[in-house]
Amino acid sequence: MQANNVTSDWMSYFVGRDGNYNLCHMWSNFEIASLRWLRSAEYESYFQFLDRAKGFFMERWGDAPVHSIAAGMLLNHSQIHFFDDIGYRHDSFARCPDRAASAETRLKCQCPADLDNFDTNDGSCLPQWRAFKPAPWTPRDTAEARRLVAQRQWYGTDLESRVAAEVRRWYSMFGGTW
């Protein structure tokens, strides 16, 4: 964002002013995106930055958070659409339209009564999505967030144990074991 002087009103959905990523992302197994955006110089710069960081190989960064953070950096909130009226399942994770959805939506998308709807899970970011109010995020905010992250020395020594601790936290959040 700094190198390309990029501003956004959606980045603050993913990153706090303290530089912490809140782990929210859009599941990208169902994604409609503009190839113009994915082929833009700004997206290419972002992707090359991540590739040089070797996180795809060392930390198994996935497509969903990578695309979501890119959208947060490079798009505005008004350019994002959440398909609230479409049911979705990926492995053991699933979502269904709200039980309070319109009768027309309920007829189009019927979900089993025993389905564990991720929207109501503690790990869901849907409440933040619904409550989010766009706020400007500028290269100055990015510089400050990077300064705060560097100050914490997250990527200092002992990276492997920090990554393992984060993986354990994710597994426990979703009921798995490490």
Give the mean model confidence (pLDDT) for residues 69-85.
88
Within-domain flag for 159:
yes
pLDDT digits over 47-67, tens only? 998 999 888 888 888 888 899
Within-domain flag for 1:
no
Q: State the pLDDT at residue 154.
A: 53
CATH code, 17:
3.90.550.10
The pLDDT-based confidence of 158 (bands split at 50, 70, 90) is low
pLDDT digits over 127-144, tens only? 898 899 999 988 888 888
Kindly give, in sequence order, each residue whose CB lies less than 8 Å from that of residue 9, ignoring residues fewer than 6 positions away.
76, 77, 134, 135, 136, 137
CA Rg value for the chain = 18
Rounded Cα gap, residues 78 and 9, in angstroms: 9
Within-domain flag for 3:
no
Within-domain flag for 6:
no
Name the residue range of residue 98's domain: 11-173
Within-domain flag for 78:
yes
Within-domain flag for 86:
yes
Q: How many domains does the chain divide into?
A: 1
Supply the residues annotated as catalytic: 31
Within-domain flag for 115:
yes
